[in-house]
Structure 1
């Protein structure tokens, strides 16, 4: 009996969480196919503990502050590296190339994990690698989706070193390029950091809409043709979106722009 009551209470919380507004007792009872008296009792009990709130004017219910506190604690404890692991492995197997995930650290792309396919020679970027942000796919992704003020600060702090003849070293040109990355939702390193290596990456967002990482795939340029990059793009974007959802990001198809507004990420 207690297990059934708990299951009903959890269903109530789920129903309230899926509703952007409020719900009345009759609506919840009808939606969950429960009797009104049981729904009313459970709601009153959960209200006393702060898990739901009742509007004193409309008598309708919504999730309470206690649920927000618990959700925030759960999200803070979720480890990005651990959460990303299955997505890295899947990308490596699907593409046949090495996949990576990086975060922004000291104004550079800090590689926190990677996965290699079972066969073949791959482009290796050891965990702990610090790479420049202006000429790597992961780095450009991490910078492109930052708020404008922070993006300018990051770019001003670094030197646009020409690692290859393809490296973008013109500040204005780099800003335009990053605008394109943000618009397209994906960044490509076309032998800009190392001759013979091409990469593609997409942003990972956390629960509050801020970019917290970048996930991508790298490979030798003879294998990584334009055709393969086009084929990988939806896979990399998809992995980034699924990982973002795992981290609590709920804005389906949208990211936070430098001005704070939502912009569509093309898929």
Structure 2
């Protein structure tokens, strides 16, 4: 079944996505990229510029700061996300490693909160491949990170199939799972043991341990992962110590979320 969309809105979104992908773009560059008339592109640019969603430096258009307002609202709208932020910070401080909270969005995982411990000598996985000063808002394919696999393991089979149909299983490293049957088997193992592992599947040399975060109704809200270099994530620390610690913190977080939910209705 074909989805119905508003073409004008879709074109504005295409303009925004293209400007961000190019790191800023001129009218001529956007016209060439989008293959629509110059006058139509200009109309979208002017509307977005006047509303504060774009800014212009010389002839180059950039993403405007009005999106920051929407983004901060989105990640603080749910009390659970705010509680997760505190859990991420506390866990990172305890173990001196990077910790992330990721939520499924648009059939991918989006990084909502991250705590990159200042004493760690290994850069975060996104800074490892990017010069971006902040990783918040970064999208990940779900099949190649521990948070993503932990989320997938909580979803019905038909939902998992729909995600894979939409996003596929692109290879990030030689260790990335690219076969559906292999991924399905791993998701079954994750359900049994309660944690997900990603062993150099997103970035070479990086290991991750992830666990889903459930809401009071049992639905998956997102997932938290501990991330670090393979040379520190060895033997029992990787397979037992970190999973046990992560499970402890996530269980406490889920209790806080449930208590918070009950408080709202008392």
Q: Deviations over 1:65-110 (max 9, x none)?
A: xxxxxxxxxxx97423311122112211222111000000111110
Describe the SS at the equivalent of 1:134.
helix
Say what the alpha-carbon RMSD is for the aligned residues. Answer: 1.9
Which residue, 214, 219, 227 being the options, matches 1:218?
A: 227
**TM-superposed deviation, 1:150:** 1.3
Match of 2:157 in 1: 148
Per the alignment, residue 106 of structure 2 pairs with 106
Please list every run of 5 or more consecutive structure 2 residues that lacks an aligned counterpart in the other structure: 1-75, 127-134, 260-266
Secondary structure of the 2:144 match is: coil
Structure 1 stretches of at least 4 aligned residues deviating more than 6 Å after TM superposition: none
Shift of 1:216: 1.1
Question: Which residue of 2 is the match for residue 203 of structure 1?
Answer: 212
* Counterpart in the other structure of 1:236: 246
State whether structure 2 residue 177 is matched by structure 1 residue 186.
Answer: no
Is contact 2:150–2:223 with CA below 8 Å preserved after alignment? yes
Distance 1:86 1:164, change over 3 A: same
CA distance in 2, matches of 1:237, 1:133: 20
Query: Which residue in 2 is equivalent to 1:119?
Result: 119
Mapped contact 1:93–1:118 kept (Cα < 8 A): no
Deviation at 1:149, TM superposition (A): 2.0
With 174-183 and 116-125 compared, the bigger mean Cα shift is at 116-125
**TM-score using structure 1 length:** 0.62
Question: 1 CA distance for matches of 2:78 and 2:191?
Answer: 26
The 2-side partners of 1:188 and 1:123 are apart by 19
Give the distance between the partners of 1:160 and 1:181, measured in 2 at CA: 18
Q: Distance in 1 between matches of 2:164 and 2:192?
A: 19
How far 1:161 moved relative to its partner? 1.2
CA distance in 2, matches of 1:165, 1:111: 23
Question: Aligned residue pairs: how many?
Answer: 175
Match of 2:24 in 1: none
Q: Is the 8 A contact 2:85 2:101 kept in 1?
A: no
Judging changes above 3 Å, is the alpha-carbon distance between structure 1 residues 247 and 77 closer, same or farther for their aligned structure 2 residues? Answer: farther
Deviates more, 1:171-180 or 1:159-168: 159-168
Deviation at 1:123, TM superposition (A): 3.7
Where does residue 81 of structure 1 map in the other structure?
81
